[in-house]
Chain A
Amino acid sequence: MSTEALRATALTKRYGRRTALAEVELAVPPGRIVGLVGPNGAGKSTLLQLICGLIEPSGGVLTVLGRRPGADPAAVGFVAQDTPVYAGLSVGEHLRLGERLNPRWDAALARRRIEQLGIDLRQRAGRLSGGQRAQLALTVAAAKRPDLLVLDEPAAALDPLARNGFMTSLVEFVTDLGASAVLSSHLLSDVERVCDYLVLLRDGRVQLAGEVRDILARHSGGLEEIALGYMTGGPR
């Protein structure tokens, strides 16, 4: 696993006249949990969609795990915002869906995780709590054994306890799979807890990127303070 998880060179995305991402430069080493933070409209979702190959860049180059985004859908696991699941399908049927649609599916891993969470396989997904639903979506994304997990604001709607459980699961999965992860969030406390790499976007530009421990060493104060400083008006 020596290929970089992500490399962006002058990556730009425009929607009509509006520039969502401008000349983004990134080089993220593998095995990291990357926290992508920034105010609303900073370009976080745009960058995640580019990583998943859901949209095409307007300029520049992006490689994911050394390849074109979307070149190998099995290599990237995506947990979308609000963690959608099929309300009418049971939890067990979601695992079956994953098994049918993914060549590298790890059925044992998925089952073990659902059992650990104490979720009944016969329960319909529409009747799960928000936290359980998010856990199910994460399990489906992780059991396809991707090399990179991408999560778009996965815990935004969860209460603190469920969020805590979700973040713990995420770290366990990433360790288990030996994968990398990118997660966007505006909850800086979550990012501080689980991420070891930080990318801070503002107005479509990267304001700050690097290993969390390096950032902490170079600045004074906690990560949350530093990030807020960058979001509100550049480095102090």
Chain B
Amino acid sequence: MIWLSWRQFRTSALAGLIALLAAVVPLLLLGIRLKQSRRSYLASCADAVRCADALRQYAAEHQNMLLFIDAGVLLVPALIGMFWGAPLIAREFETGTHRLVWSQSIGRRRWFTIKMLVVAAAVVLAVSVLTGMLTWAAGPVDTAAGDRFTTIVFGARDVVPIAYAVFGFVTGAVLGLVMRRTVPAMALTGLLVIVTQFVVANGVRPHLLPPSHETRAMTASAINELRGLGGLTNRPSVRGLTVPDAWVTSASDLRTRDGRTLDPAVFGACIAPPAPGSSGSGSSGSGGTFGAAADCLGARDLHVDVAYQPNRRYWPFQLIESGLLIGLAMLVGGFGWWRIRRR
């Protein structure tokens, strides 16, 4: 049965191998280039302060390009589910060959289990090589940026992508078993995998371990470090709050000293642009991103409550999330195993 599973998978495996080589060779070159770039940045700095600055510039130069590659790697689980998973059993139904293979002496469940394990092994192998290469190539930039927890970076490094790929593959295969048609199963697999990635990254990951909390005083200078204030309405929200060496999972709205949310009317008055014709002297305040608004809010003794995950939790998070997805994959696979007997 292992022989048959492999024989049937051979052509898809070859296609996968070609795609893998097409990704691994450029990643190898990229890794070498990123190491050289780091050396040349460091060669020109004299003391620790300037070197830290150089490293920041180095990270900024390459981060966007890496995010692009990470986004591509995030698509790999969906692609594997669609092209290796969905056709695996649906094709048998479409060609009627399930009736040939199910009338051999091997049980249907055994047939299903071995087929799944053979391809799952190939999935683990291929994705390990891919993410191993990316993790290595991006290593210097990730270290310089001190950023391993951003949604996209986290999902494309170390073991998490392997678990997603296994989940994608199993989902595709079982959807093919249930739907019996390759193309609809492929479409639904792609959709489901991407939705799962989105929901887990945004809704589940922040709560995998109880977050740490911190109260941050919002002085004028703290406000000027933000990326955004408020939204379309006058809700006193903040965006882009950072905690050193940590991933901020949520930040409250601006709060007053007694812990209540700042009155939107007060907030609105602070951030409203000065009326034309009023004295222009104070309108730009003490300068900075938010100008007078920062001064106005900073004077009110405001704070926000932040929840964050320290960067040292990176590995626990990788392992917990991988375990979660492998568990999901086993549930889906177990459903297929149960279902195939009843066809």
Contact = CB atoms under 8 A, between A and B. Distances in A.
Given A89-B7, A93-B7, A101 B106 contact: yes
Nearest to B96: A84
A77 interface: yes
Contacts of A134: none
A73 B101 contact: no
Given A89-B7, A100-B4, A101-B4, A82 B96 contact: yes
A85 interface: yes
A98 B103 contact: no
B281 interface: no
Interface stretch (A35-43, A136-144, A176-184): A136-144
Given A82-B96, A87-B95, A77 B4 contact: no
Contact of B103 (A77, A82, A103): A77
B44 interface: no
A114 interface: no
Interface string B95-107: 1110111111111
Contacts of A101: 1, 4, 101, 104-106
B95 to A, nearest CB: 6
B68 interface: no
Contacts of B279: none
Contact of B100 (A86, A88, A93, A96): A86
B2 to A, nearest CB: 8
A103 B11 CA distance: 28
B96 A86 contact: no
Nearest to A101: B104
A137 B97 CA distance: 11
B103 A52 contact: yes
B249 to A, nearest CB: 50
A49 to B, nearest CB: 10
B16 to A, nearest CB: 17
Nearest to A137: B100
A97 interface: yes
A97 B99 CA distance: 14
Contact of B105 (A52, A79, A80, A103): A103
Given A88-B11, A89-B7, A97 B97 contact: no
B3 A98 contact: no
Interface string B1-25: 1011001100100000000000000
A178 B35 CA distance: 74
Contact of B96 (A80, A93, A98, A144): A80
A168 interface: no
A86 B100 CA distance: 9
Interface string A62-87: 00000000000110111111101111
A19 interface: no
A100 B3 contact: yes
A102 interface: yes
A85 B99 CA distance: 9
A192 to B, nearest CB: 27
Contacts of B105: 73-74, 101-104, 144
A38 B102 CA distance: 26
A129 to B, nearest CB: 18
A97 B103 CA distance: 12
A155 B250 CA distance: 69
Given A100-B1, A101-B4, A84 B104 contact: no
Contacts of B3: 96, 100
23 contacts: A73-B103, A73-B105, A73-B106, A73-B107, A76-B103, A77-B103, A78-B99, A78-B103, A80-B99, A80-B100, A84-B100, A85-B97, A86-B95, A86-B97, A87-B95, A97-B101, A97-B104, A98-B104, A100-B4, A102-B104, A137-B100, A140-B100, A144-B104
Interface of B: 1, 3-4, 7-8, 11, 95-97, 99-107
Given A80-B96, A86-B95, A87-B95, 17 more contacts: A52-B103, A73-B103, A73-B104, A74-B105, A77-B103, A78-B99, A80-B103, A84-B95, A88-B11, A89-B7, A89-B8, A97-B4, A100-B3, A101-B106, A103-B105, A137-B100, A144-B104
